Chain A
Amino acid sequence: MTANDSSPHHLQLTRDGQLRHFLTLDGLDRALLTDILDTADSFIEVGERTIKKVPLLRGRTVVNLFFESSTRTRSTFELAAKRLSADVLNLDISTSATSKGESLSDTLLNLEAMASDMFVVRHSQSGAPHFIAESVTPGVAIINAGDGRHAHPTQAMLDMLTIRQHKGRFEGLKVAIVGDVLHSRVARSQIRALNELGAEEVRVIAPGTLLPKDVESLGCTVEYDMTRGMKDLDVVIMLRLQKERMEGALLPSEREFYRLYGLNQQKLALAHPECIVMHPGPINRGVEIESAVADGPQSVILNQVTNGIAIRMAVMSMAMGGQVSERQQKLSERGQA
């Protein structure tokens, strides 16, 4: 027996299957993920114009609601919203309301008064954007900019865009994700996206302490030995390692981690010669990746930034579009009734 059904994909899709929130890649099918990538392609072209701005979200208000500060991610969302002609408000709540004991529900009540059309949410707790999507007034789109260990769907989709640009396809690709999968929201979203888009194999390479329980159930194989894991790879994605992992007895030292799971030229040479190297950033050189690799010809780390803006423009305009068309639908139904 299961509980009342409120799985995320019902929450983030309209009845006719359009995006209305963007919380997780769970429940989004290949067609929709491909639509996002295609739409992002169009926005990349917009970014190459003299005026890098389209009027899609003109007059709408996007609130960047960052309960966990991240200047980099917030900036790309801000730029994306501005290129869609939206008005943007940045709220860094990590230091203000919640630390004074105000609950998330109360914070939201205060924000409702601002009559925003979209919240871009980053939160340290898994499921927070989902909770917000369930709580806010209908018509407000929620975009997940990273929640706890759960999901970072825009980051994963921009990685998919980068892979598609370089490989032209997902079928037949062998992709490895290396490092701290346990704490990584990015890895969870990437594994899900790669599976849905048809990658042949997703491998996670990490020591047992940095893997979630039953990780294979997410749709990946596990390899403890990076030398073996690099074999035949088309794409290798390096994850960021937080310093505090040494404290919880998850790892002995950065040095040992780098020796075993850091990416250097010797290890990269074991992969397919055209293997691309990715990293969601910010990079810890000499901890996850050697500078010669990060700056080398196979690295596509910088491409990922341009793609980030385009992907965020795509999901913001698609989710807003889903919200407005749903609202029109309801209005016309009410008119007929």
Chain B
Amino acid sequence: MTALLDIDQLLDQMETGLRQALEQRGVQSPVLIGIRTGGVWLADVLSKRLGIEEPFGELDISFYRDDFSRIGLNPRVKPSSLPFDTEGRDIILIDDVIMSGRTIRAAMNEIFDYGRPASIILATLIDLGARELPIQPDVAGKTMALESHQRVKLRGPDPLRIELQEAGQ
């Protein structure tokens, strides 16, 4: 059983939220960084929507995950690519789903290894709650809660769609 959420509606919500956040903070020229894989697809869409011409960054957090001592190294790791200097920049960090907050912790650690950014705005497509760390998105396309047997997954990149999966399928 797969229920589709309306992706465009969520993207509209993210775009609006981001414009507000940028204005509030007085950020003039932000750069986008997407977390692989879903966050990269979203960064691509949002950079166009926000009219940011500077190419966006791609982050692979495999080397920063905190579960290495339980599951080992992700064999599909790809190089991160930040085609700009992060030092002193205002960054919009994008991921598809936020839950525990561990991915964002790893991503921020990695970003700091490239340099010291001026600020980071966190934007996610879906906020599922269930946080384990004190990390909150500044912008979320939708906030929802899942039953324990449900999973949500972003498929893409073309077309982008959201799948809600029932466990056991």
Q: Are chains A and B touching directly in their complex (CB below 8 angstroms)?
A: yes
Can you list 25 A-B pairs with a CB-CB distance of less than 8 A?
A35-B75, A41-B79, A44-B79, A45-B80, A46-B63, A49-B113, A50-B87, A50-B114, A51-B112, A51-B113, A51-B114, A53-B113, A54-B64, A54-B113, A55-B64, A55-B109, A56-B63, A317-B73, A318-B72, A320-B72, A320-B73, A321-B72, A324-B72, A325-B70, A325-B71
Whether, in the assembled complex, B60 has its beta carbon less than 8 Å from a beta carbon of chain A, the answer is yes
Number of A-B contacts (CB under 8 A): 66
Whether, in the assembled complex, B68 has its beta carbon less than 8 Å from a beta carbon of chain A, the answer is yes
Whether, in the assembled complex, B81 has its beta carbon less than 8 Å from a beta carbon of chain A, the answer is yes
Whether, in the assembled complex, B28 has its beta carbon less than 8 Å from a beta carbon of chain A, the answer is no
- List residues of chain A with CB within 8 A of the CB of B115: 50
Query: Bound state CA distance, A318 and B81, in angstroms?
Result: 21
Whether, in the assembled complex, B69 has its beta carbon less than 8 Å from a beta carbon of chain A, the answer is yes
Would B64 and A39 count as touching, CB distance under 8 A? no
- List residues of chain A with CB within 8 A of the CB of B80: 42, 45-46
Query: Which of A42, A55, A56 contacts B79 (CB under 8 A)?
Result: A42
What's the interface size class on B, roughly?
A: 20 to 34
- List residues of chain A with CB within 8 A of the CB of B81: 45
Whether, in the assembled complex, B78 has its beta carbon less than 8 Å from a beta carbon of chain A, the answer is yes
Closest to A328 in B: B70
Whole-angstrom distance between the Cβ of B58 and the nearest chain A Cβ: 11
- List residues of chain A with CB within 8 A of the CB of B78: 38, 41-42
**Residues in A lying within 8 Å of B, measured CB to CB:** 18, 35, 38-39, 41-42, 44-46, 49-51, 53-56, 317-318, 320-325, 328
Closest to A55 in B: B64
Known: A53-B113, A54-B63, A321-B68. 15 other contacts (CB 8 A): A39-B75, A42-B77, A42-B78, A42-B79, A44-B79, A45-B79, A46-B80, A49-B114, A54-B110, A54-B113, A320-B73, A321-B71, A321-B72, A324-B69, A328-B71
Closest to A53 in B: B113
Query: Bound state CA distance, A321 and B72, in angstroms?
Result: 4
- List residues of chain B with CB within 8 A of the CB of A56: 63, 68, 73
Whole-angstrom distance between the Cβ of A50 and the nearest chain B Cβ: 5
Closest to B70 in A: A328
Query: Which of B63, B72, B112, B114 contacts A325 (CB under 8 A)?
Result: B72
Complex interface residues of chain B between 19 and 74 (CB less than 8 A to chain A)? 60, 62-64, 68-73
Closest to B85 in A: A50
Would B77 and A38 count as touching, CB distance under 8 A? yes
Query: Bound state CA distance, A252 and B115, in angstroms?
Result: 58
Query: Bound state CA distance, A68 and B4, in angstroms?
Result: 62
Query: Bound state CA distance, A42 and B62, in angstroms?
Result: 10
- List residues of chain A with CB within 8 A of the CB of B72: 18, 318, 320-325
Whole-angstrom distance between the Cβ of A329 and the nearest chain B Cβ: 10
Query: Bound state CA distance, A49 and B85, in angstroms?
Result: 10
Query: Bound state CA distance, A44 and B80, in angstroms?
Result: 10
Query: Which of A18, A42, A44, A320 contacts B63 (CB under 8 A)?
Result: A42
Query: Bound state CA distance, A322 and B69, in angstroms?
Result: 10
Whole-angstrom distance between the Cβ of A250 and the nearest chain B Cβ: 43
Query: Bound state CA distance, A323 and B72, in angstroms?
Result: 8
Closest to B72 in A: A321
Query: Bound state CA distance, A198 and B37, in angstroms?
Result: 30
